[in-house]
Chain A
């Protein structure tokens, strides 16, 4: 049974159980699934059960119910009731959230994820109004991945060493970032990236460090930065507005409570994940490069124009400047 039949009361006074389908974009064994989505699903079950208004979320992983790029449309047309949306994949419809993926936004991913959650839950924020409300989505949990680093198959000791290298980029602001440092941006699918590094089509990329282990990129790379923080990847769990409206207040409250808990827990767990990852990569023989103050200043200076190139790509009715400002404030609040 799908959603939309919630809120009715059973014979014994307790509410009837509601099952919502989640069309997840990630595989079951992805660390976001294991560290964020699955705990969230369990928390929703236990919180709602305790409150007497059971909600269960039935997860269809790995794009089984549709490609990531169609997540917003599929949610709105009722293919599933709970969506896992991510601005990097859904930039056509929720472009403002990508402000968190600009270079040098924050010094750690926990802060970034919590700030994104704060704005997603703030009915007055531009990001809520443009990305979520306009698309009939109610966000109830959010995250950001460990901040993206330069990872190369050639030795690097600082920012200057990147000059002239072919660097894999996911496109958009990442292209501007790579170009600003004198390197060549190369667009390449994730499936080709291992091969590309191994055969020298590219000399490196902008990756989050845990992904180096999960897709074995560590086998074909040698150096990585630990504090370049040139991008991120953020996402949110959302319920479609009509489905949300049919849930009882108790069920809505349960989703929000569980969502906040899962958001906080995941953000809190990130520093340990990052530390562990760095140790693992070093054990595999990779060299960690911590950029010094001079390098970081050079990075900040070179990349100061990237936000403008991002603003240029936004639709004319999207309040990009305001989003940039409120994101900065939200990050400062959580720091």
Chain B
């Protein structure tokens, strides 16, 4: 069947994308730990030794926090960690549900194509004019680049999810965690 062939073709795409997402998840996790260590260290250093780490705010806010957010963005969609209002969704028939979630996923892909492209332009401009962080002196392109990178993965992931719905198992369609699966509707086994 055509659907099966497409599904087979999507498998390596999924694997490759997941590999990238998992790699970026590790970077995001390290960034999170770095925030904990840096903020704690600078508070303790100030309190005990009167010598805070200068620039720790800038590192945390301008470099680490964006990395956590954008590097985990696509993996979070894959794992259904972006919350939504799903009480109506769980009461929809499978056809309506497929359609509504497909439209949602395509819209997400659409807006993030724009975010990724604009983010790339900004990164390029920062490289071209040699902009560096006014306090840290570190190139700004380093941190601007996390936006197009993370958003490009999100675009691919949302389109891939759609393709998988249309060619495969339709019993379990949702972009958000559906805690609110109502008892009247048979469980869809969404809980991890």
Shortest CB–CB separation between residue B100 and chain A, in angstroms? 32
Q: How far is the CA of A122 from the CA of B46 in the complex (A)?
A: 45
* Chain A interface size range: 20 to 34
Residue of B50, B129, B135 touching A184 (CB-CB under 8 A): B50
State which of B57, B131, B132 has its C-beta within 8 Å of the C-beta of A187: B57
Our pick among A92, A95, A166 for the contact of B140 (Cβ within 8 Å) is: A92
> Are A315 and B140 in touch, CB under 8 angstroms?
no
Q: Residues 164-190 of chain A: 1 if any B CB is under 8 Å from the residue's CB, otherwise 0?
A: 101000011001000000001111010
- Interface size for B (C-beta < 8 A) is 19
Contact B54 A185 (CB under 8 A): yes
Query: Which residues in window 39-91 of B have CB below 8 A to A?
Result: 46, 50-52, 54-58
Known: A171-B58, A189-B57. A184 touches B134 (CB 8 A): no
Q: Given that A171-B55, A187-B57, A313-B137 are known contacts, is A92 also in contact with B131, CB under 8 Å in the complex?
A: yes
Please give, as numbers and ranges, the residues of chain B lying within 8 Å of A201 by CB-CB distance.
Answer: 46
Residue B122 CB within 8 A of the other chain:
yes
Q: Contacts A92-B140, A172-B135, A184-B46 given; indicate if A73 touches B52 (C-beta within 8 A).
A: no
Q: Which of A93, A175, A187, A189 has the most CB of B within 10 A?
A: A187
Q: Give Cα A201–Cα B52 distance, bound, in whole angstroms.
A: 12
Given the known A-B contacts A73-B122, A184-B46, A186-B46, are A93 and B131 also in contact in the complex, defined by CB atoms under 8 Å?
Answer: yes
Residue pair A187, B134 in contact (C-beta under 8 Å): no
Decide: A175 and B54 in contact? CB cutoff 8 A.
Answer: yes
For the complex formed, measure the closest distance between the CB of B14 and the CB atoms of chain A, giving whole angstroms: 35
Residues of B within 8 A of A63 (CB): none
Enumerate chain B residues within 8 angstroms of A93, measured Cβ to Cβ.
129, 131
**Given that A92-B131, A171-B135, A313-B134 are known contacts, is A187 also in contact with B54, CB under 8 Å in the complex?**
yes
A50 lies within 8 A of chain B by Cβ: no
Closest-by-CB residue of A relative to B58 is A171
CA distance A239 to B168 in the complex (A): 55
Query: CA separation between A171 and B140, bound complex, in Å?
Result: 17
For B130, give its contact among A166, A189, A317 (CB under 8 Å): A317
Instruction: Tell me which residues from 5 to 29 in chain A have a Cβ below 8 Å from any Cβ of chain B.
Output: none
Interface centre among A164, A171, A175 (most CB of B within 10 A): A171
How far does the Cβ of B44 sit from chain A's closest Cβ, in whole Å? 13
Contact of B133 with A by CB under 8 A: yes
Q: Which residue of chain A has its CB nearest to the CB of B130?
A: A315
Which chain B positions have C-beta within 8 A of A316?
130
- For the residues of B in contact with A, the DSSP-based class is loop
- Does chain B have a CB within 8 A of A91? yes
Q: Which residue of B lies closest to A317 (CB)?
A: B130
8 Å CB contact of B134 from A92, A134, A175, A185: A92
Q: Which residue of B lies closest to A171 (CB)?
A: B135
Cα–Cα, bound, A159→B25 (Å): 50
B137 smallest CB distance to A (angstroms) = 6
Chain A residues whose CB sits within 8 angstroms of the CB of B50 once the complex forms: 164, 166, 184
CA gap between A81 and B167 in the complex, in Å: 48
Task: Point out the residues of chain B lying under 8 angstroms from A186, CB to CB.
Answer: 46, 52
Give chain B residues whose Cβ lies under 8 Å from the Cβ of A184: 46, 50-52
| CA distance in complex: A186, B50 (Å) | 9
Assess the B133–A92 pair: CB atoms within 8 A.
yes
B56 and A187 within 8 A (CB): yes
- Interface residues in B114-164 (C-beta closer than 8 Å to A): 122, 129-135, 137, 140
A134–B131 alpha-carbon span in the complex (Å): 12
Bound-state CA distance A171–B61 (Å) is 14
Task: Please give me the residue from chain A that is nearest to B52 by CB atom.
Answer: A186
Shortest Cβ gap from B149 to chain A (Å): 19
Please measure, in the bound complex, the distance between the C-alpha atom of A203 and the C-alpha atom of B137, giving whole angstroms. Answer: 28
B137: A residues at CB distance < 8 A: 313
In the complex, what residues of B have CB within 8 A of residue A317's CB? 130
Residues from chain B with a CB closer than 8 A to the CB of A172 are: 134-135
CB closest chain-A residue, reference B131: A92
Taken together as a complex, chains A and B put the C-alpha atoms of A184 and B45 apart, in Å, by 11
List chain B residues, Cβ under 8 A from A175.
Answer: 54
B129–chain A nearest beta-carbon distance, Å: 8
Nearest chain-B residue to A70 (Cβ)?
B122
C-beta contact mask, A75-93 vs B, less than 8 Å → 1, else 0? 0000000000000000111
In Å, the complex CA distance between A92 and B51 comes to: 26
- B53: min CB distance to chain A, Å: 9
Q: How far is the CA of A134 from the CA of B128 in the complex (A)?
A: 12
Q: List 7 other contacts, CB 8 Å, given A166-B46, A317-B130.
A: A91-B135, A164-B50, A184-B52, A185-B52, A186-B52, A313-B134, A313-B135
Chain B residues with CB under 8 Å of chain A are 46, 50-52, 54-58, 122, 129-135, 137, 140
18 A-B contacts (beta carbon < 8 Å): A73-B122, A91-B134, A92-B134, A92-B140, A93-B131, A164-B50, A171-B54, A171-B58, A184-B46, A184-B50, A184-B52, A185-B54, A187-B54, A187-B57, A201-B46, A313-B135, A315-B131, A317-B130
